[in-house]
Amino acid sequence: MTVLITGSSRGIGAATARAFARAKYSVAINYNKSKEAAQQLADELSREYGADCLAFYGNTADSESVREMFKNIRSQLGEVDVLINNAGVSNQKLFTDITDDDWRETLGVSLDGAFYCSREALPHMIRQKSGVIINISSMWGEVGASCEVHYSAAKAGIIGLTKALAKEVAPSGIRVNCIAPGVIMTDMMKSFDEETLEELRLETPLERLGTPDDIAEAAMFLASERASFITGQILGVNGGFVV
């Protein structure tokens, strides 16, 4: 079984790559700019778990780049059986300060990327009458976040894509689900000071911030046969922040 995890050189993507390598999947680690980190992770996981783990360049906002990435994955690891659309970018700005480039990049990497990658993965899944697509959204895609309108819009689009695509491909035995993380301690949180992080922790009913492993474990569950009757769902992994 081969899994492709977009944006998996660090953070949630890297933790998810580790979880699937531990489960003996062949793992395609996608990167856009972080080639060295992706290659180091692939080498580390291959050594530690004896799994086939390789790093693949691909700009998820570019359909031709995605097409070439899938071609390379097929030639080296085989067809993609599990697709995890994780790639995303985030920056905090007032709505009136969001530039055209900000808007295009944020929606391009996340929402366009999920569309392009799913489009490439589905023909094989449809032929074999099985497959899993897991999209990584955000709780802000459910409720919106001030000063993150472009990010919230992209993640809300991911939720709509998940629900609609799940209905369309279910007769082919393909499941499509979405994870909506809460506040997860990744590089995206580096811009927040300790006081703000403590406020976010206290706002979370479980009184802790999430880890990339929390999301990785949810993805493992949704990819497994234990979730064989689950499709079109949005799984909130947020410590109770949004209910």
The two structure tokens encoding residue 218: 């949810």
One-letter amino acid of 171: P
Residue 184 φ then ψ, to 5°: -115, 135
Q: DSSP of 15-67, one letter per residue?
A: HHHHHHHHTT-EEEEEESS-HHHHHHHHHHHHHHH---EEEEE--TT-HHHHH
User: Any catalytic annotation for residue 25?
Assistant: no
Contact call for residues 85 and 66 (beta carbons, < 8 A): no
Span between the terminal Cα atoms of the chain, in Å: 34
**DSSP H helical ranges for the chain:** 11-22, 35-49, 63-76, 100-107, 113-128, 139-143, 149-169, 194-203, 212-223
Q: Of 112, 122, 120, which is closest to residue 72 (Cα–Cα)?
A: 120
Cα 127 from Cα 200, distance rounded (Å): 45
Residue 210 DSSP one-character state:
B
Catalytic residue IDs: 151
